[in-house]
Amino acid sequence: MPASIADERTHVAVAGTASRIPKDAIRVHWGNGPAPTGKNSIDDPVLNVLFHVAQCLTRGEALAVWESAVRKKAVAPDVLARVAWRSTEAAAIAAVASALSDSGLETAFVDGLRRAGVTVKQQVWIDGHPVDGLIGRSLAIQLDGFAHHSDATDRRRDLEADARLVTRGYVVLRFDYHQVLFQWDLVLETILTAMAQGAHNRPVVAVSR
């Protein structure tokens, strides 16, 4: 089984020919990443770190780390796509990693839909306001992060935005952090049911940009 992000041990990458190392307090990654390093170097390039992340974590967790690196401008998606990864897992993540996700939550959501065969446009502006995801032409998805809506003003603003979308023909589904990460089956079933009812293919008034 891949290691989980909950694994708080220090992760260390060593060459495949390195002497065996006690693994009680650390997690050891054997092998070399795609970027060459000096014999005595103790810091791996970002590409090598991402390579080991792809081997260590589940696909969803690894993709969240990769897209976080992209958001922080530590690496660009077009650079990732050109790397000879020598790893099926890393190559698969490089093929889908992008700069569109605003958070790990959005990464998890989009990747879950992608694996279910559902295409979602990210960060679409409609009626002068951003929508986290748009399925088809009329199914709008909004995602609330872990600390979202601690302020009543923010909550009212989002409710007003949802109402404006509805009056223009959109169907709006809003999910929170816990639902996306821990109740994914419910989230996916809700979206697929809405699509089966044609919620993604309704005529709308507002024009996205």
pTM, whole model, 2 decimals?
0.75
**pLDDT by residue (tens digit) across 65-117?**
999 999 999 999 999 999 999 899 999 999 999 999 989 999 999 999 999 99
Region of 39 please: left (phi>0), alpha (psi -120 to 50) or beta.
alpha
Q: CA torsion sign, 13 to 15 to 16 to 20?
A: negative
Taking alpha carbons only, the member of 165, 167, 184 closest to residue 176 is 184
pLDDT averaged over every residue in the chain: 86
Task: Please state the length of the chain.
Answer: 209
| Element counts in the chain: helices (H) and strands (E) | 8, 6
Check residue 11 and give its pLDDT. 64
- Chain segment 12-51, per-residue pLDDT in tens: 655 655 556 555 666 666 678 899 887 777 788 999 999 9
Longest dimension (CA), the chain: 66
Please answer whether residues 146 and 180 qualify as being in contact, where contact means their C-beta atoms are separated by less than 8 angstroms.
no
Question: Which domains does the chain show, CATH number per domain?
Answer: 10-96 (no CATH), 104-196 (3.40.960.10)
Q: Is residue 92 within 8 Å of 59, Cβ to Cβ?
A: yes
